[in-house]
Amino acid sequence: MNSIKTGILLAGLTALFMGAGFMLGGEAGMMIALVFAIGTNAFAYWNADKIVLKMYNAREVTAQSSPVFYGIVEQLVRRADMPMPKVYIIDTDQPNAFATGRNPENAAVAATTGLLKILDQEEIAGVMAHELAHVKNRDTLIMTITATIAGALSMLANFALFFGNNRNNPLGIVGTILVMILAPMAAMLVQMAISRTREYGADAGGAEICGNPMWLARALDKLERGAQAIDNNPAEANPATAHMFIVNPLHAHRVDNLFSTHPKTANRIKKLQELAGIVGRPWG
């Protein structure tokens, strides 16, 4: 179901791009913006993992330097039947984690020292299984495609002043202004909706990999409270990376609204409880 939702959202975003491009500049303006967006996002696709890991001063660990954490990831990888990713630790008190990399063969998973401090081994396994599910589902590829189309829409908005006299635009200059304002906003909302859909998918996939949905449910409850109480300064300085984390590292979006990159944690826990078949019963 999550894959169908993602497909529908991607189709809608593509249709939005095609319509806005034709309204603003016809085929010429649409193609210029698309080529530029593909170029910038191709660079990001091949290099984003290195950039993000460096941004957060992540340090790679091994079975020798961090035997418990590395061992948990190694065991989950065997259960998931996927290549072993590189494993990183980020020195920050905020409990959080993310995955990055363009495919399962070139992936990395990272957890913060705050997460490793407050979670038990079962909960750590639940979190890392979630991140491995992102890798296995190739969510990075999906978000890159989304970013390509959204980036092209932004470029079209910037080109509007040059291509805004398209005679096929039935609304004239009013239509051009509306596309300039509304198209990038609509693209942002679709991006966020796709990101939130993929989070639900990774929750379900992570529950399957680790074998117990409640491990992740318990972890999410602790991570949510920890992330709200403790700042993540690199994330606050680079909010565009917020969607990568398992819970929102920023303090600006605490409700489940249109402008949040993450579903409300309570909703995610409820779905995990449903997977575990214990809705309405106490846990953790």
Give catalytic residues, as residue numbers.
131
Residues in contact with 35: Cβ distance below 8 Å, sequence separation at least 6, in sequence order: none
* CA–CA gap between residue 147 and residue 261 (Å, rounded): 14
* CA–CA gap between residue 246 and residue 220 (Å, rounded): 8
Please give the distance of CA 4 from its chain centroid, rounded to a whole number: 17
Q: Which of 206, 80, 198 is nearest to 145 (CA)?
A: 198
* CA–CA gap between residue 113 and residue 174 (Å, rounded): 52
CB count within 10 Å of CB 8 equals: 13
Three-state secondary structure readout of 111-131: EEHHHHHHCCHHHHHHHHHHH
8-state DSSP, 252:
S
Give the angle 191-227-63 at the CA atoms, nearest 5°: 95
Q: Which of 180, 217, 210, 205 is nearest to 79 (CA)?
A: 210
CB count within 10 Å of CB 70 equals: 17
Paired tokens of 210 = 């680790």
Phi, psi of 279 (to 5 degrees): -60, 135
Asked whether the beta carbons of 263 and 199 are under 8 A apart, the reply is yes
